[in-house]
Each structure stands twice: as C-alpha cells, then as structure tokens.
Structure 1
Amino acid sequence: MKTWFITGVSSGFGHEMARRLLADKNRVAGTVRREGSADDLDLTWLGHVDVTDLPKVREVVDAAFAELGRIDVVVMNAGYGLFGAAEEVSDEQMQHQIATNLLGSIQTARAALPHLRAQGGGRLIQISSVAGLAAFPGASLYHASKWGVEGFIEALAGEVAPFGIGVTLVEPGGARTSFAGGSLKIGQPLPAYDGTPASFVRGLQQGLVEIPGDPVEYAARVIESAGVEPAPMRLVLGADSQQAVTAALRNRLAQVEG
C-alpha cells in the first residue's frame, strides 16, 4: 500500500487513477476546485484548491503531508487545454492557461519537495502531453504551458536525484477523457483562420475528431510506473503520441544538424 497525492481528481486521468488506487487499497489524497466534484470517490484526504492560487497550493500540500505523514507519490495532474491560433486567444485565457498548467504544476512540486527530502525520497509524476514534445498549429498556448513544464521537470529531475526523489513525465496522446468535451477551451475564432491548419481544433471541440486513447489503460500504466526503479524520465502513451513525438524529435535533430 502506498499513499498518493493527486491534483485534479474530479475528472480525467486524475479521477481514473484515484479510482484504481483506492480499489487496490492505497491511500489517496486528492484536490479539486469545486466542492462536491469528487463525491463519488472515497478519498483518504481531500483538499480544495485552484492551482492558480500559489500560496493556497503550498498550504494544501503542507496540510496533506501533516495529516497523512509520508506521501510516496505526488502527481501534478490538474490542467486543461486552451486551443486556437495565438491571436484568437484572449489575454485572460493566455494568462489562465499558463497559471494553471505551468505555474500550478511547478508550485505543487516545489511545495512537496521539502517533505519528500525530509522523508528520504519519493516520486513526482507530471502529467504532460504529446503536446510537450510535438507542436501543432492551433495549440500554441497549450504547447507553451506543456513545453514549459517539461523543461522544468527535466531539470528538476537532476536537482532532486541526490535525495532519492524520482521524477517522471507522462506524455499521453489523445484519450477519451473530459479533456475535449468538457475542460477544453477554444479562443474566439477569426475568419482569417478558416480552412488553415489552426482551424482543426474547432472540430475537436465539436466531437468531429476521433480520439483513440483509453484513459483506463493509461491510468494503469502511470500507476505501474511508480513502482519502476529508477524512475522512467518519460512515459509516452498511445500510438499517436509515439508517432508524433518520434517525428518531431527526428525533424528537430535534422534542423539542428542542418
């Protein structure tokens, strides 16, 4: 039995991971933004926080460690997608996307680190995306948040390895969660982008784009990775993610080599 701390357990990967972990008799501390949004989960501990509130994030993480003692795995999962061409997105949408996906994850990890060091180790798992390594027109602000958190986590892994803290980036492709249907935000469409590569995201919100990945399988893979030593730096999930990441990295290498 392990104790897990997962941000954003009301839906998506966070919800599925919490459900599976609880069924296997693990202790699960979860966070939600809205009261009552995780009532179907018999969580060991529940915190209410919007991860854009950085002081509150630290307060909630500190409280979870204080009440539960040792926490073995901390999962930075809370986040959402903001799609649309760069100029279709409002200033407020841009700021909220970065505050949630990037700063919220960074602060959760920073708040957990003193506790993980004090207990002699643990595991940090960042739910990223294929969008953290491959970029597509129509998702520039989402990519900004995911590429930013990838850089932070990869550097952090080297910083905390001497303390027995393992770090993993999870990079799933498309998965049948609430991402596309519920939490996904779209900028205000501009006619100039009709029929351009950036316009594909409009079909995603309308359910016109097929999403292949199984969130149940992906959640199981993430949970399994927490028992692997040393911690895998990356966990790429889904054939679509594997193909897109491989192509992106090959193209980048070709560009570097000239």
Structure 2
Amino acid sequence: MKKIALITGCSSGIGRAAATLFAAHGWQVVATMRDPAKAGELARLPNVSIGKLDVTEPQSIAALVKQTLDTWGRIDVLVNNAGFGAFGPFETASDALIERQLATNLKGVFDLSRAVLPAMRRQGEGAIVNIASIGGLTTMPLNAIYHATKYAVVGFTEGLAYELAPFGIRAKIIAPGGVRTEFAAGSLALTFSDDQHPYAGMVGRVRQAFAGRAGQHSEPEDIAKVIYRAATDGSAQITYVAGADAEALLAARAKLGEQGYVAMMNERFNVAGPASH
C-alpha cells in the first residue's frame, strides 16, 4: 500500500526538497502551495500531485484534506512546512503583520494538524512533522515575533506527542538552522517600512552580520533528509536539530547558559547589551 505524504509550502526551498525526496522513495506526495502555478518541475515528477492551499484559511485546509482523503484514502505523514519570518524591531511591527505571522506559522499548524488527526486515528498510525527552527530553541536579535511562533510550535509539538502516542501517531519537530532558500528574499517580512526609526542602526548591523554568515547555511536537500528520517524512523524521538550551524548554536547555549549566550549574540551581531543595574 502506497504511503501518502501531505507537505505544505512546496513552491520552493525545504518544502520542495522534501516533496521531491518523499516521491523518490515511492511515496505519493500531495505538495501544496498557495499558487500552484509556481510548482514548475515539481508538478511533472512521478508520485507528486499539486494542491492549492493557504494555511491561513480554514476552508482551504478543509477542502485540501478532504480532497486528499477522497483521492488516496489516507494521510500517513503531514509535514507542516509553510511559514515566513518577520524581521525587525517588535515595536515597529504592525498588528496586521503580527497577526499574519501567528496565522501562518502557528495557527496554520494547529488547523492542519487537527484536520488530519481523525484519519490518522482511524488508521492507527501516522506522523505529524512540524518544521520549527533553531529559532524555536534559542534566539537571535530582531526576530522576536518569529521566535514567538517557533517556540510555540516546539511546545505544541512536544505536548501533542503525549496525546497522540496511544493512537500510534508520532509528533516530530525539525529545527533547521540557516538554509540556502528564498526564505530571506521571498519569505521575509520587515516590521519597518523605512530607516526613520530608533532601531535603524541596529538593523543595519544585524543585517550585515547575517549576510556574513550565509556561507554556513545548509542546503534544502540536507534538511529534507532529516524530515524524511523523522517521518519514517518510527522512534520516540521528538526533536531533530538540522544543520551544523543549528547544532553549534544549541551547544553554545547549553555551555554558556542564558546570560552567556545572550552576551555572545550581542557581540556576534554588534548589538549593545543590556545596561547594568
């Protein structure tokens, strides 16, 4: 019996790489994106069907899950990958941007997970793989809103694992570091519209530091391999840190402690630390 994987955010990057890898292993993949016209070569791969999905619209989720079940009869793995990053000072972020960040990165994960669970319970097996971030386990400057959503995804997934284990369903977290994708260009939303704000100098320094670290990023295909392993290893492991840079950041936080880690980030990104009292 062919296994079915439903993967969100497949127009580029990690989602596209994951869809390609699952299909290469013989899975039937429902690769979803807001604009199916962006599927390109993915639509022509064997074992791949393209689905239109906006994770911020409950009706879109319900329709896509129903269509998948009507066509294939089951969903074995859900990969919640769709998301974007809000970059910049929290103070300058609009309510609309904050709401969109929460709706896409968190509420969409909630809604899709809940939508597939009845089918997975009937099957007596399944896996929900949520793409969080190393930014869900530790922090960097000017990413507070993004971190809020990814920390929430981590907590949600670990909590969900308790509930689902008795039904043979596994909940998994993937925590990638930097990835060579269009994330920074196409999936990054700025919390500011110009440089006329008190944080402008900090923004420039942080951007420069991020640019200097781009060479340390992983390839999307490397992260896809971790996703596939998490979905298929059958283990009780919940969190999978993906990428050498992510592993290094997490190790530094464990070694340095909270204050030491923050001091390291302040120095690395040329951000002034908190004043002493």
* TM-score, scaled to structure 2: 0.84
Contact 2:36 2:51 in 1 (8 A): no
SS in 2 for 1:111: helix
Secondary structure class of the residue paired with 1:171: strand
Which amino acid letter does the alignment assign opposite residue 180 of structure 1?
A
Distance 1:241 1:169, change over 3 A: same
Q: Are the structure 2 counterparts of residues 200 and 245 from structure 1 closer, same or farther at C-alpha, using a change threshold of 3 Å?
A: farther
SS of the equivalent of 2:102 reads helix
Say which of 237, 240, 243 aligns to 1:235: 240
- Structure 2: where are the runs of 5+ without partners? 261-277
Q: Is residue 169 of structure 1 aligned with residue 181 of structure 2? A: no
Does 2:133 align with 1:129? yes
Q: Matched residues, percent identical? A: 37
Deviates more, 1:184-193 or 1:88-97: 184-193
Amino acid at match of 1:223: Y
In 1, the alpha carbon distance for the partners of 2:84 and 2:209 equals 14
Instruction: Indicate the residue corresponding to 2:149 in structure 1.
Output: 145
CA contact under 8 A between 1:173 and 1:213: conserved in structure 2? yes
Distance 2:158 2:29 in 1: 26
Residues 129 and 230, structure 2, Cα contact 8 Å, conserved in 1: no
Asked if residue 158 in structure 1 is aligned to residue 162 in structure 2, the reply is yes
- Residue 62 of structure 1 corresponds to 66
Given that residues 175 and 246 in structure 2 are in contact (C-alpha distance below 8 angstroms), is that contact kept between their aligned partners in structure 1? yes
- Residue of structure 2 in register with 1:193 after alignment: 199
Matched-pair contact (CA < 8 Å) for 1:176–1:213? yes
Give the Cα–Cα distance (whole angstroms) in 1 for the partners of residues 25 and 109 of structure 2. Answer: 26
Q: Which residue of 2 aligns with 1:10?
A: 11
Counterpart AA for 2:230:
S
- Match of residue 100 from structure 2: 96
Larger radius of gyration: 2
| Matches of 1:177 and 1:64, distance apart in 2 | 28
Alignment check: 8 A CA contact 1:132 1:143 kept:
yes
Is 1:29–1:45's contact at 8 Å kept on the other side of the alignment? yes
Worse overlay, 32-41 or 110-119: 32-41
Map 1:21-60; keep pairs closer than 5 Å: 21-41=22-42, 42=45, 44-60=48-64
> Which range moves more in the overlay, 210-219 or 106-115?
210-219
Deviation of the 1:201 alpha carbon: 4.9
User: How far is 1:62 from its partner?
Assistant: 2.5
Deviation for aligned residue 1:242: 1.2
Corresponding position of 1:19: 20
Structure 1 pair 91–199 and aligned structure 2 pair: CA distance change class (3 A): farther
What is the distance in 2 between the residues matched to 1:95 and 1:224? 33
Q: Structure 1 length normalisation: TM-score? A: 0.90
Q: Which among 79, 89, 94 is matched to residue 85 of structure 1?
A: 89
| Secondary structure in 1 matching 2:38 | coil
CA separation of 1:224/1:97 partners in 2, compared to 1, >3 Å: closer, same or farther? same
Report the AA paired with residue 133 of structure 2: S
8 Å CA contact 1:84–1:201 kept in 2: the answer is no
The residue type equivalent to 1:221 in the other structure is V
Instruction: Return the alpha-carbon distance in structure 1 between the equivalents of residues 64 and 126 of structure 2.
Output: 18
User: 2: distance between equivalents of 1:245 and 1:6?
Assistant: 27
One-letter amino acid of the counterpart of residue 238, structure 2: M
Deviation, structure 1 residue 209 = 4.5
* Runs of at least 5 residues in structure 1 that lack an aligned partner in the other structure: none
1:115 is aligned, of 90, 95, 119, to 119
> 1:247 aligns to what?
252
Give the CA deviation at 1:190.
Answer: 4.5
Letter in 2 for 1:86: F
